[in-house]
């Protein structure tokens, strides 16, 4: 599943969502799947936020060309600012 952090927590009642992706999918594929999910299920969803957010596994940041790890959690991390 995908753990939600920061601004993404306002869209969903739980701290994660379960998203199915095909075996061999890349992070870019997951990003597109999440965009479609957000547009269908979250009225206040902003696709621009998703486009500038990062993804991470339990151990590393993931780039769009990386494969979606199997059997683990993925976190979506929106940009943050502050002091």
> 50: part of which helix (H) or strand (E)?
helix 47-51
Is residue 9 in some structural domain? yes
pLDDT tens-digit profile, the chain (83 residues) = 899 999 999 999 999 999 988 889 999 999 999 999 999 999 999 999 999 999 999 999 999 999 999 877 899 999 876 54
Q: Are 54 and 7 in contact (CB under 8 A)?
A: no
Any domain includes 83: no
Cβ 45 vs Cβ 36: under 8 Å = no
At 25, which CATH number? 3.10.20.30
Q: Is residue 29 classed as helix, strand or coil in its secondary structure?
A: helix
pLDDT of residue 14: 93
For residue 82, tell me if it sits in a domain. Answer: no
Please indicate, yes or no, if residue 31 is contained in any of the structural domains. Answer: yes
Can you give the residue range of the structural domain that contains 21? Answer: 2-77
The total number of structural domains in the chain stands at 1
């Amino acid at each position: 599943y995908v753990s939600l952090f920061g601004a993404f927590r306002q869209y969903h009642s739980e701290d994660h969502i379960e998203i199915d992706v095909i075996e061999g999918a890349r992070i870019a594929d997951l990003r597109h799947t999440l965009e479609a999910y957000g547009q269908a299920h979250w009225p206040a969803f902003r696709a621009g936020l998703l486009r500038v957010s990062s993804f991470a596994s339990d151990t590393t940041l993931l780039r769009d060309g990386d494969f979606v790890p199997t059997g683990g959690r993925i976190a979506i991390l929106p940009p943050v600012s502050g002091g």
